[in-house]
Amino acid sequence: MFRTALFRSARQAVRAAPRCQTAIARPVVPRSLFQQKQIAPAAYFQAVRCYSASAGLSKDEVEGRIMDLLKNFDKVTDTSKLNSASHFHNDLGLDSLDTVEVVMAIEEEFSIEIPDKEADAIHSVKQAVDYIVAQPDGEDAPAPH
Amino acid sequence: MASTNPALRYQVLRIYKELLFMGRDYPLGYEYYRTRLHKAFFSQRGIDDPEKIKAGIKRAEFVKKEIEALYFLKRYRTLRKRYNQS
């Protein structure tokens, strides 16, 4: 009884082993039409966003990321005043040098470079969000020709 | 600060940014560097005279070179220590 069970499980393991192997190292030549169908389901590509796709950044996402960034900024002591409309100087008590630091952090967060003139015009969370959304990656970006 | 020459203002902010960027690898840590840098710039906020601001920018450039030199020296010392170990 025990011996037959052992034998059966061993045979099953042997049968299972090559199946595992094919899953890991896929043969270049598909062995059968059935298997090929199994490997590439049609919905597989929908989860991937192409780099060329537009409207990658929604306004809410941008706002959330900027808020998180400001929350972690140690000069912002009063987080209760932090909302989407707060002004860096009036509400959060940051001076112009801190604003430069915040803008630098935003540049890094979104992997962009903000020119000096535009960076100087950003004084509030709302302005920063509007600027990021107007960028080529954002939602409100002008359509490419 | 907004009342002064905007061109100079951009220059000051740019050098501030550059200095901040250079402080990333400061031996005593970025936080230490950042607070010091902020204090140094903040202490000069009352300056209105364009000539004095220009002098301040020159000083900032000088400090930037010093920090660069500090990094090179640190690298040199580290390498020398490693090579002389054996």
Q: Are A122 and A128 in contact (CB under 8 A)?
A: yes
Q: Give residue A118's pLDDT band: very low, low, confident or very high (50, 70, 90).
A: confident
Q: What is the 3-state secondary structure (H, E, C) of chain A?
A: CHHHHHHHHHHHHHHHHHHHHHHHCCCCCCCCHHHHHHHCCHHHHHHCCCCCCCCCECHHHHHHHHHHHHHCCCCCCCHHHCCCCCECCCCCCCCHHHHHHHHHHHHHHCCCCCCHHHHHHCCEHHHHHHHHHCCCCECCCCCCC
pLDDT over 60 (residue A60): yes
Q: Are A71 and A82 in contact (CB under 8 A)?
A: yes
pLDDT confidence of residue B65: 94
Q: Give residue A20's pLDDT band: very low, low, confident or very high (50, 70, 90).
A: very low
As a whole number of angstroms, the distance between CA B8 and CA B54 comes to 8
Task: Tell me which residues of chain B, numbers 13 to 72, contact chain A at a CB-CB cutoff of 8 Å.
Answer: 13-14, 16-17, 20-21, 31, 34, 38, 41-42
Lowest mean pLDDT among A34-38, A70-74, A103-107, B5-9: A34-38
Q: Which residues contact A82 (CB under 8 A, 6 or more apart)?
A: A67, A70, A71, A76, A91, A92, A125
As a whole number of angstroms, the distance between CA B3 and CA B25 comes to 34
The answer to whether A95 is a known catalytic residue is yes
As a whole number of angstroms, the distance between CA B26 and CA B4 comes to 32
Domains for chain A: give ranges and CATH numbers.
59-134 (1.10.1200.10)
Which of A94, A97, A106 best probes binding to B when mutated, by most B CB atoms within 10 angstroms? A97
Quote the mean pLDDT of chain B: 87
Measure A100 CA to nearest chain B CA, in Å.
7
Cβ contact, residue pair A120, B34, below 8 Å: no
Cβ contact, residue pair B10, A101, below 8 Å: no
Q: What is the enclosing helix (H) or strand (E) of B28? A: none
As a whole number of angstroms, the distance between CA B66 and CA B25 comes to 14
pLDDT over 80 (residue A113): yes
Q: Give residue A21's pLDDT band: very low, low, confident or very high (50, 70, 90).
A: very low
The pLDDT tens digits of the residues spanning A68-99 come to 888 888 777 677 777 777 888 887 878 888 88
Q: How far is CA A39 from CA A29, A30, A31, B68, in A?
A: 13, 10, 12, 55
Complex ipTM: 0.74
Find the mean pLDDT for residues B37-44: 88
